[in-house]
Chain A
């Protein structure tokens, strides 16, 4: 009997797992994909929102502001990319000035410090590629960017190193509460029993809740499509450039990523099939043309890839967090859409505390809250590179030329705690294949390394788990 089962290895599930690892407990994370961070956690804007945007008094506002303040330290402890780059909310009309002031006031109410309203010219002095049509903007110096999948991986690895177990390719089909108060979680592959369950299932979190609770929930999948630009155009935005929000969300942003690309998006379309993450021609065009309002010189030829993610939109608008009244021992992190990434560390803390209190868990003395990421050759100084190659000559073997990723890093990505088992996992951990050629050159070599170090044949190497094999066979 486990102490706790966490359903979903997205950023929220992994943040909860890492916080629960602080206690003496047996914890299992069930994930339906082949890796952590395979849903919305890998396909979002990667923004650590300062917290001016959520309505005062909501859980979104509370957790946003608290989560944002946790990121700088977490990024150090867990060694993932995070940078406070500031943000602007761009206003294009005279009427917008009032709305901008409201946002400013909202930020003050939510406890966000340092915001100022600037004129269009002042904005352009700081961000020279911003449109001439921008009349004014709210400047939010506390806004930051994070690599969302690397943060999730970091939480997960650290949880794993502190004893949390992970099971992949497990799709939860049912959750049943027994008479003795314990839970049985049925997946497509088996059954798992635990004293408590934490529901971090993203767009499917309503279904999980509805298995056990009489208080039904409804989550709508809100698709967000993005386009990503070559690092060569990284100069186009230093800060994150929001547009004044509309009813459907935060509008389309133009932002640098922590790796120096420019990200553009998201669209916001409610869709019926929660697992439908294909990009659409209309969505991509919309994201791009809307973003061009903020930065008119945004070059179409600079696009290197597109992706989309489905946000878990709760129809009532706010996060649903905590223990279910009618089902003790069952905890929800439901409807955690934007600013969910920002809020995740704080949500993780609170939910872990609730679970620990429910079970009477004690804090461990041997919890190690630090984790070392993969040493990235690309970001080393030449002195560090010399040293790295001396320690491990495979640091001298560049596999991904676009992102300068070496064989040593790829091997590390496979062999480390909770290591990558497919090509997408390598990509998210090392950036091999994430550059301007989009894995054209490095695919064969990366496949070879994955095959060798996961102990499978080349023909069994997958892009993202079973069913996504890259090869159809050997040449006869």
Chain B
């Protein structure tokens, strides 16, 4: 598999293949690149950010993020749990909006405070 390394602006094109001992990594210029490539192969994760509707607030939308990275394969399922969610104002930054998303232990938390209208 070919990857673009995101560790620095170099953006090395890394080739990674599974082999008997683990992984054969080529094209990286530094150890961080190797680590990144292996992580991407074994357990890629992403922070997910989105937004949900707010009722009775000074603003219409509340922005959210996962408080920890979530498995890349779960991104869309995690987002789906936010469908139809309407949060009543007031909201404080850091409030848990959706706890333990898909049983991962990861929460969607508010990234801004919204006062009551």
Contacts and interface: CB of A to CB of B under 8 A. Distances in A.
Contacts of B53: 475
Contacts of A475: 51, 53, 61
Contacts of B84: 476
A444 to B, nearest CB: 11
B62 to A, nearest CB: 12
Contacts of A476: 83-84
Nearest to B82: A476
Nearest to A476: B83
Interface in B6-43: none
Interface in B46-62: 51, 53, 61
Contacts of B83: 476
A476 B85 CA distance: 9
Interface in A417-476: 475-476
A476 B86 CA distance: 10
B53 to A, nearest CB: 8
Majority secondary structure of chain A interface residues (helix, strand, loop or mixed): loop
A475 B85 CA distance: 11
A78 B53 CA distance: 46
A476 B82 CA distance: 9
A458 to B, nearest CB: 11
B77 to A, nearest CB: 15
Contacts of B51: 475
B83 to A, nearest CB: 5
Nearest to B51: A475
A53 to B, nearest CB: 55
Nearest to A474: B53
A476 B84 CA distance: 6
A447 B83 CA distance: 25
Interface in B75-89: 83-84
B56 to A, nearest CB: 18
A149 to B, nearest CB: 33
Interface in A202-227: none
A382 B53 CA distance: 41
Contacts of B61: 475
A476 to B, nearest CB: 5
Nearest to B52: A475
A475 B84 CA distance: 9
A385 B63 CA distance: 38
B55 to A, nearest CB: 14
A22 B40 CA distance: 78
A360 to B, nearest CB: 60
A476 B80 CA distance: 10
A476 B51 CA distance: 10
B97 to A, nearest CB: 15
A476 B83 CA distance: 6
A422 B84 CA distance: 30
B101 to A, nearest CB: 17
B13 to A, nearest CB: 35
A197 B61 CA distance: 53
B111 to A, nearest CB: 16
A443 to B, nearest CB: 16
B10 to A, nearest CB: 32
A342 B66 CA distance: 63
A475 to B, nearest CB: 7
Interface in A292-321: none
A452 to B, nearest CB: 14
A476 B53 CA distance: 9
Interface in A178-208: none
Nearest to B85: A476
A475 B61 CA distance: 10
5 contacts: A475-B51, A475-B53, A475-B61, A476-B83, A476-B84
Interface of A: 475-476
Closest 5 CB pairs of A and B: A476-B83, A476-B84, A475-B51, A475-B53, A475-B61
